């Protein structure tokens, strides 16, 4: 057997064992994979990556049935949306779920339901997609940023209490990239200060924390089913909760303020919006439950393998997760330490990785410096709601987000569809990083 055949056989065996839940050390032969592609060596990953999103022919007839029925909106009774809500709640172990038009509208709805109003403050994780900030701003509330823990990439519970004021109404942690936050600590602070907790689980479908699913750990949880997500429907979202009345309040708000159960008619009883999901979306989502479960296990097995490999390589660290938690890896994030790569900058590292056939991204930047928050706090409305001194101190406080700045500077991430590849592709990723590290001094000299 040649070395290459042995490597291939080992990779195939590893993949098979992983499906059975076995934990295996990374491929030992991967260590001498030659020169980096940027220095004239062979690409570590010559093939492509699984495409995303991905549909199945067998989903099509139901979509056609809905199309031909003419009943596309959930206004009225029956149809696929209520079925999806019931099944989504069951899958997560939530008491109740509400389908929404998007993750953003799920967040807006949830903040309304827990009582966030104009002039309130919400403690928010800064390392997130911009919709998290926007959902607070849309309620004319102030998103006050907790810091990010540089090792977990999620909200640092130690940074929350100093940011609580008499106006704070809620905490909005984000299970970013599908990695559960330290929810026990966050919930304990919320309880002590009588604050609501809305989980942004928009990237955390089936992620687990101490035996419970993300989205069922706070007062309400919010999900996104946008096109890039692990269970996509083009656009779409959901709110989940353990308190039925609270979810029913969300239902009213998302349905033009109609009282819960009154799906049609014109009488509105609360403020509201039209954030309803369509039956087409619900059908696509229901079709993907088994796929989601299987692919989640596949991503998790490959992520475990990468974590073991990265820990062995050093200098590029995987995230630290809370005890007894299970991430679902919407992307696989790594903390890059240039000092351990002979000063090779993050962008040089990413360029070298790309030459190996492995595209990566740099993660979120410090979005609070972009202008969105300046636009809000300089608006007439915000100036009516807060005094100048508070808004000035608020703007200056962004400089204190040292952990977040560090995460933004050092993050390198690969996307979720890459984790759906086979085990040999994970070896290619590790091989590429090993090569780049071994030749980092030479690579650092290249522009």
Residue number of the CB closest to ligand PLP reads: 103
For residues 200 and 175, the answer to whether their CB atoms sit within 8 Å is yes
How far apart are the C-alpha atoms of 265 and 269, rounded to whole Å?
12
Applying the rule CB under 6 A, the residues between 213 and 272 that interact with ligand PLP are 224, 226, 237
In the complex, the smallest distance separating the C-beta of residue 13 from ligand PLP, rounded to whole angstroms, is 36
Asked if 178 touches ligand PLP (CB under 6 A), the answer is no
If the CB atoms of residues 244 and 370 are measured against ligand PLP, the closer one turns out to be 370
Asked if 404 touches ligand PLP (CB under 6 A), the answer is no
Identify the CA nearest to 172 among candidates 150, 138, 204, 201: 201
In the complex, the smallest distance separating the C-beta of residue 127 from ligand PLP, rounded to whole angstroms, is 9
In this chain, which of 152, 203, 252, 283 binds ligand PLP, going by CB under 6 A?
A: 203
Q: Cis omega before residue 53 (within 30°)? A: yes
How far apart are the C-alpha atoms of 104 and 133, rounded to whole Å?
10
Applying the rule CB under 6 A, the residues between 100 and 139 that interact with ligand PLP are 102-104, 128-129, 131-132
Identify the CA nearest to 182 among candidates 224, 151, 223: 151
How far apart are the C-alpha atoms of 273 and 112, rounded to whole Å?
11
Identify the CA nearest to 232 among candidates 55, 361, 421: 55
If the CB atoms of residues 14 and 224 are measured against ligand PLP, the closer one turns out to be 224
Asked if 202 touches ligand PLP (CB under 6 A), the answer is yes
If the CB atoms of residues 236 and 318 are measured against ligand PLP, the closer one turns out to be 236
Phi, psi of 250 (to 5 degrees): -60, -40
If the CB atoms of residues 128 and 325 are measured against ligand PLP, the closer one turns out to be 128
How far apart are the C-alpha atoms of 4 and 160, rounded to whole Å?
52
Identify the CA nearest to 411 among candidates 214, 179, 180: 179
Applying the rule CB under 6 A, the residues between 83 and 102 that interact with ligand PLP are 102
If the CB atoms of residues 7 and 155 are measured against ligand PLP, the closer one turns out to be 155
If the CB atoms of residues 174 and 353 are measured against ligand PLP, the closer one turns out to be 174
How many amino acids of this chain bind ligand PLP (CB under 6 A)? 14
In this chain, which of 114, 137, 141, 174 binds ligand PLP, going by CB under 6 A?
A: 174
In the complex, the smallest distance separating the C-beta of residue 71 from ligand PLP, rounded to whole angstroms, is 24
For residues 80 and 283, the answer to whether their CB atoms sit within 8 Å is yes
How far apart are the C-alpha atoms of 98 and 82, rounded to whole Å?
8
If the CB atoms of residues 44 and 327 are measured against ligand PLP, the closer one turns out to be 327
In the complex, the smallest distance separating the C-beta of residue 207 from ligand PLP, rounded to whole angstroms, is 12
Residue with structure tokens 């033009």? 256
If the CB atoms of residues 114 and 353 are measured against ligand PLP, the closer one turns out to be 114
In the complex, the smallest distance separating the C-beta of residue 199 from ligand PLP, rounded to whole angstroms, is 10
In the complex, the smallest distance separating the C-beta of residue 153 from ligand PLP, rounded to whole angstroms, is 12
Q: Where are the beta strands (DSSP E) in 116-228?
A: 121-124, 142-145, 168-172, 196-200, 208-209, 212-213, 220-224
Residue with structure tokens 């954030």? 275
- Residue 344 gets which letter from DSSP? -
Of 195-203, 317-325, 379-387, 398-406: span binding ligand PLP (CB under 6 A): 195-203
How far apart are the C-alpha atoms of 320 and 102, rounded to whole Å?
29
Applying the rule CB under 6 A, the residues between 25 and 54 that interact with ligand PLP are none
If the CB atoms of residues 30 and 141 are measured against ligand PLP, the closer one turns out to be 141
Identify the CA nearest to 239 among candidates 77, 111, 74: 111
* Site residues, ligand PLP (CB under 6 A): 102-104, 128-129, 131-132, 174, 200, 202-203, 224, 226, 237
């Amino acid at each position: 057997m040649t070395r290459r055949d042995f490597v291939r056989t080992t990779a195939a065996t590893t993949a098979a064992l992983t499906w059975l839940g076995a934990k295996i050390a990374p491929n030992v032969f991967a260590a001498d994979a030659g020169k980096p592609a940027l220095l004239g060596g062979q690409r570590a990953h010559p093939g492509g990556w699984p495409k995303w999103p991905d549909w199945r022919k067998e989903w099509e007839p139901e979509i056609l049935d809905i199309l031909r029925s003419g009943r596309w909106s959930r206004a009225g009774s029956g149809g696929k949306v209520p079925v999806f809500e019931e099944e989504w709640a069951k899958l997560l172990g939530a008491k109740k779920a509400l389908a929404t038009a998007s993750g953003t509208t799920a967040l807006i709805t949830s903040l309304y339901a827990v009582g966030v109003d104009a002039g309130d403050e919400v403690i928010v994780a800064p390392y997130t997609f911009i919709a998290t900030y926007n959902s607070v701003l849309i309620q004319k509330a102030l998103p006050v940023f907790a810091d990010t823990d540089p090792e977990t990439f999620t909200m640092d519970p130690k940074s929350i209490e100093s940011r609580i004021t008499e106006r704070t109404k809620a905490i909005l942690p984000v299970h970013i990239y599908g990695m559960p936050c330290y929810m026990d600590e966050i919930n304990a602070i919320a309880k002590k200060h009588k604050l609501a907790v809305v989980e942004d689980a928009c990237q955390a479908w089936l992620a687990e924390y101490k035996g419970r699913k993300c989205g069922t750990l706070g007062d309400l949880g919010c999900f996104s089913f946008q096109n890039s997500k692990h269970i996509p429907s083009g656009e779409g979202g959901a709110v989940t909760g353990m308190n039925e009345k609270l979810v029913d309040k969300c239902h009213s708000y998302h349905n033009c303020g109609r009282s819960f159960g009154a799906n049609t008619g014109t009488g509105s009883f609360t403020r509201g919006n039209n954030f309803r999901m369509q039956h087409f979306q619900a059908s696509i989502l229901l079709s993907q439950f088994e796929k989601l479960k299987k692919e989640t296990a596949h991503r998790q097995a490959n992520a475990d393998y990468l974590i073991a490999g990265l820990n062995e390589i050093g200098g590029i660290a995987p995230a630290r997760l809370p005890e007894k938690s299970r991430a679902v890896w919407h992307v696989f994030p790594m903390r890059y330490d240039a000092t351990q790569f002979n000063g090779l900058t993050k962008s040089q590292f990413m360029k070298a990785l790309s030459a190996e056939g492995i595209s990566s991204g740099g993660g979120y930047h410090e979005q609070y410096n972009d202008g969105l928050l300046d636009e809000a706090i300089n608006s007439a409305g915000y100036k009516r709601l807060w005094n100048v001194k508070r808004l000035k101190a608020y703007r200056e406080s962004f400089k204190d987000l040292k952990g977040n700045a560090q995460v933004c500077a050092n993050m390198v991430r690969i996307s979720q569809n890459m984790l759906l590849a086979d085990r040999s592709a994970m070896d290619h990723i590790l091989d590429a990083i090993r090569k780049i590290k071994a030749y980092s001094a030479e690579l650092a000299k290249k522009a």
